[in-house]
Chain A
């Protein structure tokens, strides 16, 4: 394979990764890392470095549109970022102390549980959101326009403190493993804070950029970000994410939920296998 072929094919794969990532509130790393290591035989360090870049690319590419569409809950994002960033530092510290195998197993089980919980959530849609004085005081509640249904939907945010704690956990896990923050953020917002799924994915999209930027500086300085690999990844993902961001509002939330559960299960299996090997 020539460098040219590498760039063009990787670009194409990352278009898909960015598209899916922008709809799911993920960074596309779920597709990028396996693609780079399995399809192109790239060293895992470079793959993770490129994945971090792809997370920032998805985040910034999609969030620009979601914020403009008033889909993203900016205030909730800012509040929760306190949790994810402090968690990321904790995770980076713990990385030297905790053994990888147990992390992968725990992470895999956690994701599996989230998948089942998200499936069940469909039947809980009518239970009222518990009143939350923090959410009231910080004015976290909002509304969004669901183009698939054609109406503006107001929503309340619950369990702000629990959400913050879960974000700390999500940040720690992603600091430890270097991956997978969106995959925990969306279920936390959807299940614990009772935020509508589309708003959860749009808000997660904004947040993952900050979490990744915190690690990206370190990876760059360590020499894990190879420009020749990161270039087609970043450009492909940005274009894919921009396309996806135009589509989210029109997508049926049930389809999104089903896709997300599938991705959760796929990543959970991957993690469990790595832990068991």
Chain B
């Protein structure tokens, strides 16, 4: 892109440049993978239920309180085994939720490689708090 050519060149080889590139690629990969999965799942849902193209009643059933969809990993796995589009969408959503957490985990390694121990520790604390919040959420 021409705009980038006019910028003062950023040192891509320096540790900071490499780190930022890694984070950026990780986020992009996570998002792309989850979006692709979600799309496949959505298409599957429409293929398996052609009435979704037209029926008002189906919409109510899909989006009203009490709608049936998986919300535990076991249910998602079972749904995937049965080839249900909804489970594929759920998998894609789980991938999306995992992306920021993965970003934090990878950042710890990135800071460690740069020997920036203060920030490796800071990021480690964030990951620990995240994991605690998940654990507390399960207990709820």
| A-to-B contact residues, CB < 8 Å | 1-4, 6-7, 40, 42-43, 45-46, 53, 56-57, 59-61, 63-65, 67-68, 70, 74-75, 78-79, 81-82, 85-86, 88-89, 92, 138, 145, 147, 150, 152, 209-210, 212-218, 220-223, 225-232, 234-235, 238
Contacts and interface: CB of A to CB of B under 8 A. Distances in A.
A139 B123 CA distance: 15
B54 A64 contact: no
Contact of B23 (A67, A85, A145): A67
A88 B100 CA distance: 15
Contacts of A147: 3
Contact of A45 (B65, B129, B132): B65
Interface string B117-133: 01100110110011011
Pick from B7, B19, B28, B93 the residue with the most CB of A within 10 Å. Answer: B93
A231 B100 CA distance: 18
B21 interface: yes
A218 B27 contact: no
B99 A85 contact: no
B134 A227 contact: no
Contacts of A213: 97-101, 130
Interface residues of B, number: 69
A232 B97 CA distance: 16
Contacts of B99: 56, 60, 209, 213
Nearest to B8: A152
Contact of A1 (B45, B56, B90, B123): B56
Contact of B129 (A60, A85, A216, A232): A85
Nearest to B1: A246
Contacts of B20: 67-68, 70, 74
11 contacts: A53-B93, A53-B97, A68-B20, A82-B122, A89-B129, A92-B133, A145-B7, A210-B101, A217-B133, A228-B62, A234-B35
B137 to A, nearest CB: 3
Given A46-B63, A79-B122, A218-B140, 12 more contacts: A57-B31, A63-B24, A79-B119, A215-B133, A218-B134, A227-B89, A227-B90, A228-B69, A231-B89, A231-B92, A234-B34, A234-B35
B52 A226 contact: no
Contact of A60 (B30, B58, B133): B30
A43 B54 CA distance: 22
A200 to B, nearest CB: 18
B71 A220 contact: yes
B89 A228 contact: yes
B35 A228 contact: no
Nearest to B36: A235
Contact of B100 (A46, A209, A225): A209
Contacts of A231: 38-39, 41-42, 89, 92-93
Contacts of A59: 100
A3 B61 CA distance: 10
Interface in B94-110: 94, 96-101, 103-104, 107
A152 B46 CA distance: 49
B10 interface: yes
Nearest to A36: B63
B72 interface: yes
Contact of A2 (B54, B67, B98): B54
Contact of A78 (B46, B54, B126): B126
B115 interface: no
